[in-house]
């Protein structure tokens, strides 16, 4: 496989073995079949419907790939938006039209809005349930209406069995409540937790649970309030405390904040690189690359299409280690995929921008190398599909010269030389 730059020999060998060995073998089989047919079959005809579709596919994919690479060479990292200094405490979004005019601000999140929460009795999970058996009916009152629910407790049910039955009944009722059974495996103790999915002190967010027939609610402890509903409390630029019944607040001038947790430290809101935009461009790069490789590989009977697939793979092999480091990984078929965690890390430590922009304007580097190929495909698309020049019996009219892992075809009488690399 022809490879240049980006990896040492061991890295190339490892990647070759894990990702592309099967693909290269497949290409070899195709070449053997297509270049040295056993029946002197007729060569490729003029562009057919499949070739036209292939041309359209690779033109569209290569144009998108070229555009993504050009944007990642600088413009994507120049785009600015408002960012939070601590997304674990507060995230921000900006819908205004002039981020450059925005002044920095500091937001102190003293308390986030939360809903009511009930925590049941902590019971031995596997112990036999000691409450009433048979049909147990109970009522939940929330949002000004009362809903009747029931569970069937059977002989032999454990405490956890009954807790789970009650949780399922509550979740299936669609009341804006979320019920879960939490189990401590170390102590074999489980507990039913019921909480409102709506936050804030609005009265409609309150709920109560009571037994009607049987004693399942009392036995499980589902009626025990462990946390009252509360509003969010926050301060902007050391100003007075402000209250919100929602964790999403409008800070003015097109700035929206969503509170995630309270903190003793104020969160800075300032101009910064737009990670969501950059992530979208990277995803477009991955998608268009995969579409281009897929279209080329899918045109199995065309040598130039297979050559294009191989040339694309050569570039990714050469830079695969660096790509993996910045969050562009590869699956077993050699297709790109986004590793979100690594992509975010590479964005935070600057490696993502450095990888795509350090060779900006030069003739080397991943972006420049792949970009030239993408531009060539987009601007000279017909050059990447075999036409009718061969005619009948074309396999008798070429000279073959081997170059290790590449070869040349010199088509007699045409003066054309075709390089195939795999």
Q: Which of 204, 239, 273 is the last residue before a domain boundary?
A: 273
301 in a structural domain: yes
Residue (of 107, 74, 78) closest to 274 by Cα position: 78
What are the residues facing 105 on neighbouring strands?
Answer: 269
Same domain, 265 and 282: no
Average pLDDT, the chain: 81
Mean pLDDT comparison of 164-173, 291-300, 377-386, highest-scoring range: 164-173
Structural domains of the chain, count: 3
Residue 363 CA: distances (Å) to CA of 116, 359, 360, 393: 61, 8, 8, 41
Within this chain, do residues 48 and 84 fall inside the same structural domain, yes or no?
Answer: no
**Contact assessment for residue 274 and residue 80, using Cβ atoms and an 8 Å cutoff:** yes
Q: Tell me: pLDDT of 3 over 70.
A: no
Cα–Cα distance for residue pair 328/275, rounded to 1 Å: 15
Report pLDDT for 26: 54
pLDDT (average), residues 350-364: 77
Distances (CA, A) of 8 to 15, 246, 320, 322, 335: 11, 54, 11, 12, 21
Residue 109 belongs to a domain: yes
Scan for tokens 């800070």, then name that residue.
251
Mean pLDDT along residues 367-372: 91
406 closest CA partner among 384, 417, 418, 421? 421
Q: Round to whole Å and give the CA distance between 148 and 139.
A: 5
Q: Is the pLDDT of residue 124 over 50?
A: yes
Evaluate whether residue 356 is within a structural domain. yes
Query: Token pair 């795999």 is at which residue?
Result: 422
Please check the confidence at residue 22 and state whether its pLDDT lies above 60.
no
**Of residues 77 and 289, more confidently modeled:** 289
> Do 106 and 254 share a domain, yes or no?
yes
Confidence at residue 409, expressed as pLDDT on a 0 to 100 scale: 39
Q: Which of 273, 301, 332 is the last residue of a domain?
A: 273
Q: Among 273, 303, 338, identify where a domain stops.
A: 273
pLDDT in the model for residue 9: 42
Based on the fold, state whether residues 417 and 390 are members of the same structural domain.
Answer: yes
Q: Is residue 1 part of a domain?
A: no
Q: Which of 352, 344, 316 has its CA nearest to residue 72?
A: 352
CATH number of the domain encompassing residue 157: 3.30.70
Cα–Cα distance, 397 to 414 (Å, whole number): 10
pLDDT for the residue 362: 56
pLDDT band for 277, please (50, 70, 90 cuts). Answer: confident
- In terms of domains, do 335 and 409 share one? yes
Q: How far is CA 341 from CA 204, 322, 330, 420, in A?
A: 39, 15, 15, 37
- Assess whether 285 and 393 both reside in one domain: yes
User: 210 pLDDT exceeds 90?
Assistant: yes
User: Once rounded to an integer, what is the mean pLDDT over residues 210-222?
Assistant: 97
DSSP state letter for 102 = P
Contact 412, 402 (CB under 8 A): no
- Per the structure, the complete domain to which residue 354 belongs is given by 9-78+276-421
> Are 369 and 416 in a shared domain?
yes
Please report the pLDDT score of residue 36 as a whole number: 39
State yes or no: pLDDT of 273 exceeds 80: no
Asked if residue 337 is part of any domain, the answer here is yes
Q: Is the pLDDT of residue 33 over 60?
A: no
Residue 408, pLDDT above cutoff 80: no
Instruction: Give per-residue pLDDT as tens, 316-344.
Output: 888 989 999 999 998 888 889 999 999 98
Tell me what percent of the residues of the chain surpass a pLDDT of 90: 54
Q: Using 50, 70 and 90 to split pLDDT, how confident is the model at 391?
A: very low
212 lies in some domain:
yes
Please tell me whether residues 258 and 312 are part of one structural domain.
no
Strand partners, 119: 193
The answer to whether the CB of 256 falls within 8 A of the CB of 246 is: no
The answer for residues whose C-beta is within 8 angstroms of residue 207's C-beta and 6 or more apart is 116, 140, 141, 142, 175, 177, 194, 196
Domain co-membership, 281 together with 164: no
2 within a domain of the structure (yes/no): no
pLDDT of residue 399: 35
Asked if 416 and 340 sit in the same domain, the reply is yes
Q: Is the pLDDT of residue 80 over 80?
A: no
pLDDT exceeds cutoff 50 at 236: yes
Using a 10 angstrom Cβ sphere, with 0-12 exposed, 13-18 middle and 19 or more buried, the burial of residue 29 is exposed
The mean per-residue pLDDT over the stretch 202-224 comes to: 96
Domain identity same for 104 and 179: no
How far apart are the C-alpha atoms of 178 and 195, rounded to whole Å?
Answer: 5
Out of 111-125, 189-203, 397-411, least confident range: 397-411
Considering the domain architecture, whether residues 108 and 142 belong to the same structural domain is answered as: no
Lowest mean pLDDT among 156-160, 214-218, 401-405: 401-405
């Amino acid at each position: 496989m022809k490879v240049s730059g980006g990896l040492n020999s061991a890295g190339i060998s490892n990647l070759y073995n894990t990702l592309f060995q099967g693909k290269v073998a497949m290409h070899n089989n195709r070449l053997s079949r297509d270049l040295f047919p056993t029946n002197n079959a007729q060569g490729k005809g003029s562009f057919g419907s499949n070739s036209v579709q292939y041309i359209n596919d690779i033109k569209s994919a290569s144009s998108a790939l070229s555009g993504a690479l050009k944007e990642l060479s600088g413009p994507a990292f120049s785009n600015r938006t408002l960012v939070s200094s601590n997304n674990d405490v507060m995230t921000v979004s900006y819908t205004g039209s002039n981020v450059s005019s925005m002044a920095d601000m500091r937001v102190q999140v003293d308390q986030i809005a939360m809903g009511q929460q009930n925590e049941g009795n902590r019971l031995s999970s596997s112990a036999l349930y000691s409450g009433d058996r048979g049909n147990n009916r109970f009522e939940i009152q929330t949002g000004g209406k009362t809903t009747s629910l029931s569970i069937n407790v059977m002989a032999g049910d454990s405490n956890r069995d009954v807790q789970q039955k009650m949780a399922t009944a509550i979740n299936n009722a669609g009341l804006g409540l979320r019920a879960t059974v939490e189990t401590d495996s170390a102590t074999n103790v489980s507990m039913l937790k019921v909480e409102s999915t709506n936050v804030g002190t609005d009265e409609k967010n309150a709920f109560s649970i009571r037994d009607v027939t049987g004693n399942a609610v009392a036995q499980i402890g589902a009626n025990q309030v462990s946390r009252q509903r509360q509003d969010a409390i926050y301060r902007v630029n050391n100003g007075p405390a402000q209250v919100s019944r929602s964790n999403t607040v409008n800070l003015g001038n097109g700035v929206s904040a969503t509170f995630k947790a309270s903190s003793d430290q104020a969160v800075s809101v300032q101009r910064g690189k737009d990670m969501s935009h950059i992530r979208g461009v990277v995803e477009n790069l991955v998608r268009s690359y995969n579409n281009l490789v897929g279209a080329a590989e899918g045109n199995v009977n065309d040598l130039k299409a297979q050559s294009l697939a191989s040339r694309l793979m050569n570039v990714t092999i050469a830079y695969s280690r660096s790509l993996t480091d910045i969050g562009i990984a590869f699956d077993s078929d050699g297709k790109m995929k986004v590793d979100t965690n690594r992509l975010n890390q590479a964005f935070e430590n600057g490696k993502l921008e450095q990888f795509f922009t350090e060779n900006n304007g030069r003739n080397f580097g991943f972006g420049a190398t792949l970009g030239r190929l993408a531009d060539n495909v987009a601007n000279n698309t017909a050059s990447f599909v075999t036409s009718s020049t061969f005619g009948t019996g074309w396999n008798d009219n070429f000279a073959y010269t081997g170059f290790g892992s590449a070869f040349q075809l010199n088509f007699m009488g045409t003066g054309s030389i075709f390089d195939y690399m795999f």
